[in-house]
Amino acid sequence: MYDIGLPSRRTLFQLQAERLLSLCRQVSTKCGQEICIPWYIMTSDQTQKLTEDFFRKNGYFNYPEEHIIFFEQFDMPVLSFQGKILMKDKASLCWSPEGNGGLYRALLDRGILQNMRARGIDYVHIYGVDNVLVRLADPAFIGFCISRAADCAVKVVEKTDPAEPIGVVGVVDGKFRVVEYSEISPSTAALVLPMPPSRIACCQDEKDCDSKLANSRLLYCHGNICNHFMTLTFLERVCNPELESQLPYHVARKKVPHIDLETGTTITPTQPNALKLEKFIFDVFQFSQRFAIWEVDRATEFSPLKNRSGAQNDCPETCRQSILNLHASWARAAGAVFASEDNINRDVIEISPLVSLNGENLECLKGKTITGVNILELRRSEDGEDVPTLIQVKANN
């Protein structure tokens, strides 16, 4: 629903809907029949109506309504640091969604697993909605997982900064897990892989060797980006209460307004005062019998929206720039040139997902000079065909 300030003003949900629609059109053309991928969107009590209304207001972004299924995750009571349940008012509790790991209970208890089975679904792609570069139902990733007969798999990016706040995929006590960044000591997070003898032999001097060492990969480098593949059979197994109940609750310390039952006044804390209990989606990795890891390029597949505008990282500005940088690279590869190569904010191009998913179908840009702010959209021609059309817009659009 969030507008990150793209020239087209596309929101995150519109980007995702159009990427999925574009993929369906490509697959339909190859298969010679209409294909539509079911899209399941997990909401919470606070966002369910808001999300449904947003899709309805925007005509479901031209994605078939019958193939978009909303379902609500469950909530958990919020606790004080003393373990008491906080009250919103004298008649109701303070509640909080139980984290993205609440997916599994919601899939079972909301009837989503049955819906998937009835539709003939065998494989499921699960992703975090806040990644503006996410490739929905990525055929390369899914094909890789199927070729490896994986029941569960994860996309990762290389973690290059030990202090980056993302967890890493690793093996703990013989089982695949995600270890959160807060659970790794700074010294452990900074460990690097030993330099291979072949690289040491190529060192000209100590300075050259130090330079090569600086470019070494971290030992724990597989950064988790909440992008997973699971077979429906695996999902059905881990959603079973016998296994789902084994998933641990993680404690998050948050600021939660609540009522003082003795005075009846509302307390708005300025410091964390409450414990929220959350489950994490990756805690089912331990139950996988054939686990796979697929490393992808951060610049093309991972740019999360975590912070407010103006933050240094993971904010609307960085997300917008990630998309525009990616689209600029596609345009250059297609033969376009930019009037000002040294000013990435003056001459830009945004490419509609309906035109290109991964840089394909951009022959129309060959020899074009990109000046100002541009959007490449599909537009109906006089012949009645949808053709890519370069539209120049005002910079403050």
pLDDT per residue as tens, the chain (397 positions): 899 999 999 999 999 999 999 999 999 999 999 999 999 999 999 999 999 999 999 999 999 999 999 999 999 999 999 999 999 999 999 999 999 999 999 999 999 999 999 999 999 999 999 999 999 999 999 999 999 999 999 999 999 999 999 999 999 999 999 998 888 999 999 999 886 655 544 445 555 555 544 568 999 999 999 999 999 999 999 999 999 999 999 999 999 999 998 899 999 999 999 999 999 999 999 999 999 999 999 999 999 999 999 999 999 999 999 999 999 999 999 999 999 877 667 899 999 999 999 999 999 999 999 999 999 999 988 888 899 999 999 865 5
At residue 183, the pLDDT reads 87
At residue 189, the pLDDT reads 94
Phi-psi region of 372 (alpha: psi -120 to 50; beta: other; left: phi over 0): left
Torsion sign, CA atoms 144, 149, 153, 156: negative
Tell me if 256 sits within 8 A of 273, measured CB to CB: yes
Report if residue 73 sits inside a domain.
no
Identity of residue 129: V
Please identify which residue in the block is written with the tokens 């997902």: 353
Q: Kindly give the pairing relationship between strand 75-77 and strand 95-97.
A: antiparallel
Q: Kindly give the pairing relationship between strand 373-380 and strand 222-231.
A: unpaired
Which backbone phi and psi does 292 adopt, to 5 degrees? -135, 150
Report if residue 322 sits inside a domain.
yes
Number of domains in the chain: 1
Report if residue 189 sits inside a domain.
no
Please identify which residue in the block is written with the tokens 């270890």: 179
Report if residue 378 sits inside a domain.
yes
Report if residue 137 sits inside a domain.
no
Task: Give me the domain span that covers residue 382.
Answer: 306-397
Report if residue 311 sits inside a domain.
yes
pTM above 0.75, yes or no: yes
Report if residue 84 sits inside a domain.
no
Spatial distance between the Cα atoms of 169 and 183, rounded to a whole number of angstroms: 13
Is 375 exposed, middle or buried, given 0-12, 13-18 or 19+ CB atoms closer than 10 A? buried
Tally of CB atoms within 10 A around 217:
12
Which residues, including other chains, have CB under 8 Å from residue 82's CB and lie 6 or more apart? none
Report if residue 394 sits inside a domain.
yes
**Six-digit token pair at 115?**
């819906």
